[in-house]
Amino acid sequence: DRRRVYAILESEGIEIPRYAVLDRDSADPKLESEDHVEVNGVTFNKPFVEKPVSAEDHNIYIYYPTSAGGGSQRLFRKIGSRSSVYSPESRVRKTGSYIYEDFMPTDGTDVKVYTVGPDYAHAEARKSPALDGKVERDSEGKEIRYPVILSNAEKLISRKVCLAFKQTVCGFDLLRANGKSFVCDVNGFSFVKNSNKYYDDCAKILGNMILRELAPTLHIPWSVPFQLDDPPIVPTTFGKMMELRCVVAVIRHGDRTPKQKMKVEVRHPKFFEIFKKYDGYKHGHVKLKRPKQLQEILDTARSLLTEIQHRAAGPELEEKQGKLEQLKSVLEMYGHFSGINRKVQMKYQPRGRPRGSSSDDDRLGEPSLVLILKWGGELTPAGRIQAEELGRIFRCMYPGGQGRHLSGEYAGAQGLGLLRLHSTFRHDLKIYASDEGRVQMTAAAFAKGLLALEGELTPILVQMVKSANTNGLLDNDCDSSKYQNMVKTKLHELLQQDREFTKEDREQINPGNAISINDALDFVKNPVRCCQHVQMLIHKLMDIVRIKKDDPKTKEN
């Protein structure tokens, strides 16, 4: 019974994820909303884990937030090469008793610990079954495990678990998250699958224990097998050894669709109600990204357009009809809100929006809201493929090859490269991304390529990608905006010249003599003519789009 397991762990002071039990024998005390669930007064925001109370039931579900794409990952006992599947279903199960607990971001690995008595613990990591559900197996069909060295705190946890459950040979699962280690499951009597050293050590320890029990009066030398505190240093074939400590990469997001923006000033009470509901007056502005919030804006736009159609609206609303229709059509795109591709901002103007024309002065002074709708800027299918491909290149780009493409393989053999550098790379890999949807999806696609994962990006995004903002990696760009504007002004002046770039221009634009900038200048040649050429190509493209739009054969596409 998982409830009893958690109670024993708590009584021993062993850290476990924050949890609550939903016991369906009593009245149903669960409240469910779009992005969280409340159990017995305890709120769990997505992502959270739903475990059956019976430890024999391995049907564990992980629910993802709408901001990451929603849905759930359904874990089960391994069947062939699968241990979980992704499902678009976001609602929790309605029958049975469950433990709800916080999801721990473990960078895609679980640590399995096997004790043999309180003073010995063997640990190994495996790919988390929640990542893509594909079980990695070696040539003998056994699940691939990675070597792990336990910290002193983790060795103490294994001692406590062994003694608390009165189980000499005991297996349990550790989650390493946010710099701490949590126990999430105790499996009891369990042996390592394939490690000769473990079996030698295990035989020695159990042999000592049995002999001491059977012949307590005899002197039996007690020796605990030596456990390494640090990985062994591998000698190299020549020269002094250099140890690679880390690889750091800073990567831009993949190809995106054009970013689009629309602004409209609104004074209707319905917009003010939404603004007030989400604490807009506290900060003077509000950002709406959640599906429920966007639905409220869409419902408001629909009702105002209905008023205009029935001549029930005032003249100011009728002026805004075009913008309200655009707001409605953008929010109706795709048929569902995923929280990644659209957002609405509202800014409070206590004296109305400053006017450019004197004829508009009659309404100046009345409070208003500037509604800003942003859409587009999504990662394109090509951008996603680029990111996955880059991940695959990273697998073998260093050392052993410099990203050369040979017959479909990068840098020759797949055994070379980044994967070879560090056998525990999986649980030392950290991926940070900004909060923008296209950046997060690029990071998830990159991780998919790097780790040779399969399936949906949502589980990879939730487990592997951390927010760079909360980790203080992204500075506020206010300090740089002054210099960015200076650079933009300078570039604008240089690109207004209707002539080919001279040597002086090149020195001014590219004082560092960067090859990539020189190549770009060679490509542009005359900036004004290049802009005219781009404009001409855009007109040609628009003409093709119009023809295709009117052609019955291609109209639907």
Spatial CB neighbours of 185, under 8 Å, sequence gap ≥ 6: 2, 5, 55, 172, 173
- Which CATH number describes the domain made up of 2-214? 3.30.470.20
Q: Is the Cβ–Cβ distance between 163 and 118 less than 8 Å?
A: yes
**Residue 43 and residue 32: Cα distance in Å, rounded?**
10
**Residue 173 and residue 183: Cα distance in Å, rounded?**
6
pTM, two decimal places: 0.69
Read off φ and ψ for residue 360, nearest 5 degrees.
-95, 10
How far is it between the farthest Cα atoms of the chain? Answer: 107
Identity (one letter) of the amino acid at 498?
Answer: D
- Tokens matching residue 184: 């999430």
Closest CA to 178 of 338, 64, 15: 15
Kindly list the domain boundaries of the chain, sorted by start residue. 2-214, 259-376, 381-467, 478-550
Closest CA to 267 of 327, 331, 352: 352
Task: Report which secondary-structure segment, H or E, holds 342.
Answer: strand 342-349
Task: Report which secondary-structure segment, H or E, holds 285.
Answer: strand 285-288
Q: Return the pLDDT at 249.
A: 84
- Tokens matching residue 527: 């900036």
**Residue 179 and residue 15: Cα distance in Å, rounded?**
12
- CB atoms under 10 Å from CB of 190, counted, come to 16
Q: Return the pLDDT at 108.
A: 81
**Residue 253 and residue 510: Cα distance in Å, rounded?**
25
Cβ burial, residue 156 (10 Å; 0-12/13-18/19+): middle
DSSP string, 4-49: HHHHHHHHTT-----EEEE-TTS---EEE-SSEEEETTEEEESSEE
Scan for tokens 């009893």, then name that residue: 4
Question: Is the bond leading into 367 cis (omega within 30 degrees of zero)?
Answer: no
Q: Where are the beta strands (DSSP E) in 59-196?
A: 60-63, 72-79, 82-87, 98-102, 109-116, 121-127, 146-147, 169-177, 180-188
Scan for tokens 């079954």, then name that residue: 129
- Tokens matching residue 23: 């016991």
Spatial CB neighbours of 547, under 8 Å, sequence gap ≥ 6: none
Closest CA to 59 of 71, 47, 77, 81: 77
- Tokens matching residue 419: 């994967």
Q: Return the pLDDT at 238.
A: 54
Q: Return the pLDDT at 208.
A: 87
Q: Is the Cβ–Cβ distance between 86 and 455 less than 8 Å?
A: yes
**Residue 129 and residue 136: Cα distance in Å, rounded?**
10
- Tokens matching residue 505: 């221009």
Kindly list the strands in the beta sheet with 285-288, ordered across the sheet, starting from the edge strand earlier in the chain: 259-266, 368-376, 342-349, 285-288
CB-facing half-sphere around the CA of 257: CA atoms within 13 A: 13
- Length in residues, the chain: 557
**Residue 376 and residue 503: Cα distance in Å, rounded?**
39
Q: Is the Cβ–Cβ distance between 448 and 460 less than 8 Å?
A: yes
**Residue 43 and residue 102: Cα distance in Å, rounded?**
10
**In tens digits, what is the pLDDT along the chain, a chain of 557 residues?**
999 999 999 999 999 999 999 887 765 667 888 888 998 889 999 999 999 999 999 999 999 988 788 899 999 998 888 999 999 988 898 888 999 999 988 878 889 999 999 999 999 888 888 888 888 887 778 888 877 888 899 999 999 999 999 999 999 999 988 888 999 999 989 888 878 888 988 999 999 889 888 887 877 666 656 554 554 455 555 555 566 667 788 888 999 999 899 999 988 889 999 999 988 888 888 988 888 888 899 999 998 888 888 776 667 777 788 888 998 888 888 666 655 578 899 999 887 766 554 444 555 568 889 999 998 888 899 999 999 999 888 877 765 544 455 444 554 455 556 666 545 444 567 888 988 888 989 999 998 888 888 888 888 888 888 877 666 677 666 677 788 888 888 888 888 889 998 888 888 888 888 998 999 999 999 999 999 999 999 999 999 999 988 888 877 65
Distance (Å) of CA 399 to CA 112, 231, 422, 446: 30, 21, 12, 19
**Residue 483 and residue 479: Cα distance in Å, rounded?**
8
**Residue 291 and residue 34: Cα distance in Å, rounded?**
9
- Tokens matching residue 336: 């569902």
DSSP state of 379: B
